[in-house]
Each structure stands twice: as structure tokens, then as C-alpha cells.
């Protein structure tokens, strides 16, 4: 299990000082660990940074479990890697056994982090900041829409050569506690996606398309395509009945059963390219995966 409990020295010091001395970290970092409810003394949660600890001191920490990942580009400040479909960007709780963080922290340490997210089933390029400075810069660039992201998807039906979906979105208020879902909402946040058809596959009645989101809303591409009746093959949430969604999310279907319900064994959406300027250099980084072959 990635989350493990380790013993720290019993030295009768204040909680924050124990962490600072044992882990060689700053007082701010020590406080964050305490705030995240990861420090225990004699089996009891430590919630006060100035509490004197006397007894068995234990810390819940994350033990990396790397499986290997493809690095597309790397320099001193950042890296771009290929996230496989089915892998979480971040661990989603104490029971999570593997996430992209296992690879990132194994390769570049715990100061490295993702600068944006991909849904669990979305594959492809994701940008990693190696230090705090680059992390702040890239997150600011994403907020200001200075980083162009392009995706490839296989969708149902024959799409127009070029089309745009400009539909505001918000959190679905009634999703039966299955999973967070979004909905089209005139009073929601602005969301715009440009689409370009790359190929129509007649025998499948399917279109391979390039999606260019101008905004970064959760599930934006997935919801926009579902809204215009070109649902992505393998879509596990939108347009399905609750019982089928639950089976998919609980991994109670094999690949054949999943494909029968959704049209594919996984969500056929891939982060294809990233384009941006950083430190006066222009970058246009493309995925090295033959995603068309993988989709078919």
C-alpha cells in the first residue's frame, strides 16, 4: 500500500519540531503535515503543532510504488510525461494503491507536482513542474490560458469538419451520489471548445476528432461532445443509467462487458499536444503514442 505508517523518534519535543528534525523540513511544511491529519502519538491524532509529544510517535506517509512511465520531454524545470488511461493523477485517499504521483515523486522528489489534471480514464500528455518556481509559473499560465492543450477523441457519428461548442457548465446538483458530474447550465461558468474532424470511419459510424478547449472546466470536452450528440466512445458517466455507471466505477465489468455498454473498454480521449512559451523559449510537445492504433 502506498500509504504507510512510520515511527519517529520519541524526544519529548513539540509536534512541529519533531517533524522538522526528523524529516529535515520547514515549520510551514511541518504544519501542513499536521493539518493533513498524518501525525499520531500513542495512537491518537495530533492536531496542535505545539503539543509536546511523549510516547509512540507515528507518521502516515506515502511510499512510492513506481511501475514506469514514458517521459516525452524533460529539462531542469519541468517534464512532460504520458499518463496511461486508468491512472489517477493524484492519490484519492488512504486506500489508493497507485497514482501518477508514484512516478513523479520517484523520479523527481516530492517537490515535483502536476500543473494540471487529466481525468482517470483520459490518457496522454501531462505537464510536471519540478520545483516551486516553475509550479507557480505554469499554474499562472494555465489560469491565463497561455497554454494550448489539444486532445484526440473517437466519437459516435459523423461530425462537421469544424465546429465549436460554446455552452456554460456547472456542477450537476442531482447525480445520486455516484460521482461528480457536470451539466450544461446557462448560469454556469463559461466553457468553449473548438473541434476539428480528422477522419470519418464509415464502417464504425465514428469520427476521429481534434478537440481544442479554450477554457479548462472539469469534463469539458466530454460534456460538450455529449451535449451535441457525439458522445466519446467508452464514456463512463454521461448518457448512462445509474446501475451501469456504478458497475463501471466499481470495476464490476470486464472489458468486453464495458465495451458492450459504452462502445469501448476505456474512454477514448487522449491529451495529444501542449503548446506554450517558457523562459523565452517556445515549446510544442506532441504525444509519441500512436493513439489511433490504440483506439482501434
Which residues does the annotation mark as catalytic?
Answer: 119
For every residue of 126-170, DSSP letters joined together read EEEE-SHHHHHHHHHHHHTT-SEEEEEEEEESPPPSEEEEE--EE
Q: Which helix (H) or strand (E) holds 139?
A: helix 132-143
Partners of residue 80 on adjacent β-strands: 73, 127
CA dist 81 and 205 (Å) reads 32
Residue pair 32/17 in contact by the 8 Å Cβ criterion: no
Partners of residue 213 on adjacent β-strands: 193
Of 275, 258, 288, nearest to 86 (Cα)? Answer: 258
Residue pair 164/173 in contact by the 8 Å Cβ criterion: no
Q: Which helix (H) or strand (E) holds 28?
A: helix 27-35
Q: Report in angstroms the alpha-carbon separations of 131 from 11, 83, 128, 136.
A: 32, 20, 9, 9
The percent helix, strand, coil of the chain (3-state, each to 5) is 25, 30, 45
C-alpha cell at 179: 460521482
C-alpha cell at 113: 507536482
3-state class (DSSP) for residue 107: helix
For every residue of 255-269, DSSP letters joined together read HHHHHHHHSSSS--E
Amino acid at each position: 500500500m502506498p500509504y504507510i505508517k512510520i515511527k519517529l523518534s520519541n524526544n519529548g519535543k513539540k509536534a512541529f519540531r519533531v517533524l522538522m528534525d526528523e524529516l529535515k523540513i520547514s515549520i510551514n511544511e511541518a504544519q501542513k503535515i499536521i493539518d493533513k491529519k498524518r501525525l499520531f502519538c500513542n495512537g491518537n491524532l495530533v492536531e496542535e503543532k505545539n503539543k509536546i509529544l511523549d510516547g509512540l510517535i507515528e507518521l502516515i506517509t506515502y511510499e512510492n510504488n513506481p511501475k514506469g512511465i514514458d517521459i516525452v520531454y524533460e529539462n531542469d524545470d519541468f517534464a512532460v510525461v504520458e499518463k496511461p488511461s486508468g491512472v489517477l493523477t493524484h492519490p484519492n485517499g488512504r486506500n489508493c494503491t497507485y497514482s501518477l504521483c508514484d512516478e513523479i515523486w520517484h523520479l523527481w522528489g516530492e517537490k515535483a507536482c502536476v500543473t494540471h489534471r487529466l481525468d482517470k480514464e483520459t490518457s496522454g500528455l501531462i505537464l510536471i513542474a519540478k520545483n516551486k518556481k516553475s509550479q507557480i509559473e505554469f499554474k499562472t499560465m494555465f489560469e491565463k490560458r497561455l497554454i494550448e492543450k489539444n486532445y484526440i477523441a473517437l466519437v459516435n457519428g459523423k461530425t462537421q469538419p469544424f465546429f465549436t461548442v460554446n455552452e456554460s457548465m456547472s456542477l450537476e446538483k442531482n447525480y445520486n451520489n455516484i460521482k461528480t458530474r457536470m451539466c450544461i447550465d446557462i448560469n454556469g461558468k463559461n466553457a468553449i471548445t473548438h473541434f476539428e474532424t480528422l477522419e470519418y470511419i464509415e464502417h464504425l459510424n465514428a469520427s476521429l476528432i481534434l478537440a481544442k478547449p479554450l477554457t479548462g472546466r472539469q469534463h469539458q470536452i466530454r460534456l460538450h461532445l455529449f451535449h451535441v450528440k457525439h458522445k466519446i466512445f467508452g464514456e463512463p458517466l454521461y448518457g448512462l443509467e445509474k446501475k451501469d455507471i456504478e458497475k463501471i466505477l466499481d470495476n464490476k465489468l470486464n472489458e468486453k462487458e464495458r465495451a458492450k455498454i459504452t462502445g469501448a473498454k476505456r474512454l477514448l480521449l487522449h491529451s495529444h499536444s501542449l503548446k506554450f512559451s517558457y523562459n523565452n523559449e517556445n515549446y510544442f510537445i506532441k504525444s509519441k503514442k500512436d493513439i489511433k492504433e490504440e483506439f482501434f
